Amino acid sequence: MALSILLLLALLTGLLLLLPKCHPKARGHLPPGPQPLPFFGNFLHMGRRGLLKFFLEQRDKYGDIFTVYLGPRPVIILCGIDTIREALVDQAESFSGRGKLAILDQVFQGYGVIFANGERWRVLRRFSLATMRNFGMGKRSLEERIQEEAQCLVGELRNSQGALQDPTFFFHSITANVICSIVFGERFAYSDPKFLRLLDLFHQTFELANSFSSQMFEFFSFLKYIPGPHNQVYRNMQEVKTFIGHNVDKHRQNLDPSAPQDLIDTFLLRMDKEKSDPGSEFHQTNLIHTVLSLFFAGTESTSATLCYGFLLMLKYPHVAERIHKEIAQVIGSHRPPALADRAKMPYTDAVLHEIQRFADIFPLSGAHMVTKDTYFRGYTIPKGTDVFPMLNSAHYDPHYFETPDTFNPDHFLDANGALKKNEAFIPFSIGKRICIGESIANAELFLFFTTILQNFSVASPVAPEDIDITPLEFGVSQVPPKYQIRFLSR
């Protein structure tokens, strides 16, 4: 019996030693990186630090391109704007695949505009971008939808009468409501039970997806067979998909082909047009997952950026005061801010750029995947290998930002006070997989930020010098620390 056990252990050890070599992605000449252990990859190297800190430490050792093993799976990490641009722009087609995010694979299963690949992704991306761009042709424009939400928020904040509050709920609500308006054609009251449940499901899922347990899931895919946070993520998203499905059914019943009101209407019309094509990507499954994708792309990151932005206004009241003055000069107090105002407000624009850079909400871009065997910087990356661009390696590069660790709007202003572009500013990534919600997020940040500061001054119970702006690491993302704020009517 003892001999049998020893033989079995020897066999298992041999298999584990062969795993990395037998993995199809191990072929080719990969960039250097920490030596992986059989089966575990670099999991033990990471320890409790989490993926983000682990990746940053490896850059110090191996430079701007290196390989780490998530279990037996090699992934390539890209650092620095030059490396990232060379891959995602200069070799855009090769790096245009969507890599895996294990915790969400079971949810999306390759459907929807964000997690699709190949022709499905190209078709859905073209459709989604065109639909959002064409709002305003017989329909309310994106700008009008955001302005409406901004005024609803102003009403709620006035009702608070300057009471101390955590702004997180309202910022989650307004960003989610903009997506609801785009896809469902309606916004929800902030007290609506269905809306509150939707917010709660997304917030839970974001927390679970960024937990340490979920990072372990990236290393060991077999954990999907064991109860864990992925089960709750799946249940949460199934509930959201059911909610979306009910809305799709209502849209189908009331569909007017001559006057589509939102993204679901437009998608349903395309489904009808292509219903005789068995290969069409316009079907119910892709519709539901595309709507779900837009919520993922357009809510959490923008709301967290707004939260961070107003924390920074409390920390640096002189910055808020300059914005108040610019709003008074350009917009005044008798009309709501409009997107056309942005070009006339270089300081406010620079502040919004710097908030995004400094907050660094998603230091790591969504996973890419090479679509073919790819020669890059002297290495051969086999088809199907996942690639992670580290956006914060660009945003905190002292070659492009004079004081990268300091909040400094001058990073985006020239000597004449005009807005200065910076090629290392890539909060939405770059290339073919640039965030589909970029235009929505930029419009929201400007209109929400200026509308709030047009109507309110902000105050904190804590002296500016005592306000902590250190981000909280949240898996592979960062969020501002919790704080209390007063919105005082101007």
Q: Are the C-beta atoms of residues 340 and 447 closer than 8 Å to each other?
A: no
Cα(392)–Cα(359) distance, rounded to whole angstroms?
10
Known binding-site residue numbers for heme? 435
The domain that holds 211 is classified in CATH as: 1.10.630.10
Q: Write out the DSSP string of 252-288.
A: HHT--TT---SHHHHHHHHHHHTTT-TT-S-SHHHHH
pLDDT of residue 390: 96
Identify the pLDDT of residue 140: 72
What pLDDT score was predicted for residue 474? 67
Residue 204 maps to a domain: yes
Which residue has 């049998």 as its token pair? 4
Binding-site annotation, residues: 435
**Contact by Cβ (8 Å): 312, 469:** yes
Q: Does residue 334 lie within any of the structural domains?
A: yes
CA atoms within 13 A on the CB side of 349: 18
pTM for this entry: 0.91
Q: What tens digit of pLDDT does each residue of 57-104 get?
A: 999 999 999 999 999 999 999 999 999 999 999 999 999 999 988 888
- DSSP codes, 430-470: -STT--TTHHHHHHHHHHHHHHHHHHEEEE-SS-GGG---P
Distance CA 474, CA 490 (A): 35
DSSP state of 373: -
- Kindly state whether residue 350 falls inside one of the protein's structural domains: yes
Rounded Cα–Cα distance for residues 460 and 467 (Å) = 9
Assess if residue 431 is contained within a domain.
yes
Contact predicate 229/214, CB 8 Å: yes
* 392 within domain boundaries: no
CB 99 within 8 A of CB 386: yes
Q: Which domain holds residue 336?
A: 108-360+409-489
Instruction: List the pLDDT tens digit at each of the 490 positions of the chain.
Output: 443 433 333 344 444 444 444 444 445 699 999 999 998 899 888 877 778 888 989 999 999 999 999 999 999 999 999 999 999 999 999 999 999 888 888 899 999 999 999 999 999 999 999 998 877 555 678 899 999 999 999 999 999 999 999 999 999 999 999 999 999 999 999 999 999 999 999 999 888 887 777 777 778 877 777 887 778 889 999 999 999 999 999 999 999 999 999 999 999 999 999 999 999 999 999 999 999 999 988 888 999 999 999 999 999 999 999 999 999 999 999 999 999 999 999 999 999 999 999 999 999 998 999 999 999 999 999 999 999 999 999 999 999 999 999 999 999 999 999 999 999 999 999 999 999 999 999 999 999 999 999 999 999 999 999 999 998 876 678 889 999 999 999 9
Look up tokens 């890059």; give the residue.
Answer: 376
Conformation bin of residue 70: beta by default, left when phi > 0, alpha when psi is -120 to 50: beta
Task: Give how far Cα 336 sits from Cα of 114, 167, 333, 473, Å.
Answer: 33, 21, 8, 36
413 inside domain: yes
- Assess if residue 337 is contained within a domain: yes
Residue type for 7, please? L
Residue 118 has what pLDDT? 95
Q: Which helix (H) or strand (E) holds 164?
A: none
The answer to whether 295 and 128 have CB atoms below 8 angstroms apart is: no
Cα(450)–Cα(331) distance, integer angstroms: 9
The DSSP string of 303-346 is HHHHHHHHHHHHH-HHHHHHHHHHHHHHT-SSS---GGGGGG-H
What token pair was written down for 428?
């939405």
Residue 238: name the closest of 365, 108, 332, 347 by CA: 108
Is residue 77 within 8 Å of residue 34, measured between CB atoms? no
Whether 203 maps to a domain, the answer reads yes
Overall number of domains in the chain:
1
The token pair at 322 is 């300059």
Name the residue type at position 91: Q
- The tens digit of pLDDT for each residue in 425-474 reads 999 999 999 999 999 999 999 999 999 999 999 999 999 999 999 988 76
